[in-house]
Amino acid sequence: AQSVAQPEDQVNVAEGNPLTVKCTYSVSGNPYLFWYVQYPNRGLQFLLKYITGDNLVKGSYGFEAEFNKSQTSFHLKKPSALVSDSALYFCAVRDIVDTGRRALTFGSGTRLQVQP
C-alpha cells in the first residue's frame, strides 16, 4: 500500500522569505511523486513531479522539490514567497511496483499563507 503524509495543516511565511511545504511518503517500491496546488473554488493544478534522475526537480511558478530517498521525503520549496502563492498544496504518490493501480494517493493538504 502507498501513503503520503503532509505533517503541517498550515504554513505561514512572510512575502519574500523562503518557503517549505513538507511531504513524506511510503511505498513498497520506488515512487513517482507529484505536487499540485489548489486555489479557492478551482481544481488541482500540476506543479512538478519526480520520476527518476536528478533529485532536485524544478517546476512551475519558481517552485522546486527535492527527492530524498533515505528520508522518504519530497519537500516543496521556493526561494522567495509571493502573496499569490497562498493556496492549498497537495503531495501525491504512485508506486512504481503497484502497476495495477494508476490512481494517485494524495496527502491531506497543506494550506500556505503568505503575509505581505
Partner 1 sequence: GAGVSQSPSNKVTEKGKDVELRCDPISGHTALYWYRQSLGQGLEFLIYFQGNSAPDKSGLPSDRFSAERTGGSVSTLTIQRTQQEDSAVYLCASSLNGVGQGETQYFGPGTRLLVL
Q: Within 10 A of 59 (CB to CB), how many other CB atoms are there?
A: 18
Distance CA 38, CA 49 (A): 16
Task: Tell me the window of 16-24, 35-43, 65-73, 75-83 that interacts with partner 1 (CB under 8 A).
Answer: 35-43
Subset of residues 43 to 82 that bind partner 1, contact rule: CB under 8 A:
43-46, 49, 51-52
Specify the stretch interacting with partner 1 by CB under 8 A; choose among 13-21, 30-38, 60-68, 75-83: 30-38
- Candidates 21, 35, 81, 107: give the one binding partner 1 (CB under 8 A): 107
Between residues 69 and 101, which has the closer beta carbon with respect to partner 1?
A: 101
> Both ends of the chain: CA-CA distance in Å?
41
Q: Cα–Cα distances in Å, from 7 out to 53, 61, 83?
A: 26, 23, 22
| Alpha-carbon distances of 84 from 49, 54, 57, rounded to whole Å | 21, 28, 21
- According to the binding rule CB under 8 A, does residue 14 interact with partner 1? no
By the 8 A CB rule, do 75 and 23 touch? yes
**Minimum CB distance to partner 1, residue 37 (Å):** 11
Chain contacts with partner 1 (rule: CB under 8 A):
32, 34, 36, 41-46, 49, 51-52, 90, 92, 94, 96, 99-109
